[in-house]
Amino acid sequence: MGRLRGTYTGQVRQRIVNARNYPGIARRRGMEGQPVVAFTLNKQGQLTQLRLDRTSGYKLLDQAALDAVQKGAPYPEIPPQLKMRFFQFKLPVSFILK
């Protein structure tokens, strides 16, 4: 079950990474950070709750992290083998200039 749980978490995380948008103004101002988002998906993969768990110190990046979770939808269904009605996540969303 741990492996299946890890695979599912990886799929959800990848959707967020793909949906993430580093705000242009934040880039120009050299803002970096790693806000942590907390959210819940129901067994169909629908987003039912979303909040900021830890700030990056920049409202722009915090909002971009929340937006990435919303834009990542639709998420895959929770695998039936996990026998979970809801899946709670607490994930960091990185905004690092290279």
Residue ranges per domain, the chain? 2-92
Q: What is the pLDDT of residue 49?
A: 98
Rounded to the nearest 10°, the torsion over CA 77, 16, 14, 32 is -160
Helix (H, G, I), strand (E, B) or coil at 1: coil
Q: How far apart are CA 52 and CA 66, in angstroms?
A: 7
Q: What is the pLDDT of residue 67?
A: 99
Entry pTM: 0.94
Per-residue pLDDT of the chain (98 residues; tens, 9 = 90+): 789 999 999 999 999 999 999 999 999 999 999 999 999 999 999 999 999 999 999 999 999 999 999 999 999 999 999 999 999 999 999 999 98
Confirm or reject CATH 3.30.1150.10 for domain 2-92, answering yes or no.
yes
